[in-house]
């Protein structure tokens, strides 16, 4: 992997020295590096927004997400207060998360920091590789890429896990409603709530109810699942009891 990392640092250095790069400019180089260092994975730059926000990369194995990467501009202090709220939100929601400024890398399992390593450093007018860290970085990438999820066997932990996911989903729904450029499906659903159930419902109240409904629906459907198939909303719709047509239709329509 030494040659791949060396080539990556050289490309980052070339972009950096041009003097007009943003954090987005470096993304293809990191994507290419990770693709060379791993097998059987798909690394997608700028995936669709998920419940906790929009991490810069999603890493999937056979269409199943196994990790996320958030990248900041080169030289960004990854421990600064400016990014704390965003990083905390990601760590609470994502079990396998890598945070980087393209030179320094932090690997988290939930809120636990597993490893941190730097493979380059900024000098006047250039990026210099830290070659003695290349092998350690390869091990960090290996741990990240081989992540296979974790089982939750404690009811209290399951409740806390679902509560955190639901809260993040609530925030996303509220933001999506406020975003005039986003799909208007949620706004249509909210208008339906106002006309039929709660005429005075606010955006925040609707987001909370809607998120809890989705979380409950997923939980009920998963309890009925007896297969090892990739679990999708279509599977959820089919597994939700027919006695609850509202939930079934919700998962079919999303």
* Segment 107-154, tens digit of pLDDT: 998 888 999 999 999 998 899 999 999 999 999 999 999 987 666 777
Asked if residue 87 has pLDDT above 90, the reply is: no
Summary mean pLDDT of the chain: 83
What is the predicted pLDDT for the residue at 207?
A: 87
Asked if residue 36 has pLDDT above 70, the reply is: yes
- pTM for this model (two decimals): 0.66
* Segment 194-234, tens digit of pLDDT: 887 888 888 888 888 888 888 888 887 777 777 656 666 67
Question: Which residues of the chain are in CATH 3.90.1570.30 domains?
Answer: 2-145
What is the predicted pLDDT for the residue at 5?
A: 96
Residue 171 or 29, more confident: 29
Per DSSP, what are the bridge partners of residue 127?
Answer: 122
Are the C-beta atoms of 217 and 162 separated by less than 8 Å? no
Looking at domain 2-145, its CATH class is: alpha beta
Determine the average pLDDT of the residues in 22-26.
87
Residue by residue, DSSP assigns 99-163 as EESSSEEEEEETTEEEEEEESEEEETTEEEE-GGGHHHHHHHHHHHHT--------HHHHHHHHH
In 3D space, the residue among 78, 67, 248 whose CA is nearest the CA of residue 140 turns out to be 67
Strands 97-100 vs 64-71: parallel, antiparallel or unpaired: parallel
- pLDDT > 70 in the chain, percent: 85
What does the alpha-carbon distance between residue 36 and residue 143 come to, in Å, rounded to a whole number? 15
């Amino acid at each position: 992997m030494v040659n791949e990392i060396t080539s990556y640092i050289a490309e980052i250095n070339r972009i950096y020295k041009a003097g007009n790069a943003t954090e987005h400019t470096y993304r293809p180089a990191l994507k290419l590096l990770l693709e060379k260092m791993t097998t059987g994975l798909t690394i997608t730059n700028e995936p669709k927004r998920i419940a906790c926000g929009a991490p810069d990369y999603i890493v999937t194995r056979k269409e199943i997400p196994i990790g996320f990467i958030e990248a900041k501009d080169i030289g960004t202090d990854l421990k600064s207060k400016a990014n704390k709220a965003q990083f905390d939100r990601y760590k609470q929601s994502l079990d396998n998360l890598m945070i980087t400024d393209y030179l320094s890398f932090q690997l988290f399992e939930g809120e636990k920091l597993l490893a941190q390593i730097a493979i380059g450093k900024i000098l006047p007018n250039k990026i210099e590789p830290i070659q003695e860290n290349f092998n350690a970085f390869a091990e960090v990438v290996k741990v990240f890429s081989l992540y296979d999820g974790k089982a939750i066997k404690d009811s209290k932990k399951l409740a806390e896990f679902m509560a955190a996911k639901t809260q993040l989903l609530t925030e996303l729904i509220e933001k999506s409603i406020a975003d005039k450029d986003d799909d208007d499906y949620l706004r249509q659903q909210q208008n339906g709530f106002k006309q039929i159930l709660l005429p005075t419902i606010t955006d925040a109240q609707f987001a909370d109810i809607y998120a809890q409904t989705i979380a409950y629906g997923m939980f009920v459907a998963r309890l009925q699942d007896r297969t090892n198939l990739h679990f999708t909303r279509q599977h959820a719709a089919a597994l939700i009891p027919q006695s609850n047509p509202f939930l079934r239709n919700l998962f079919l329509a999303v």
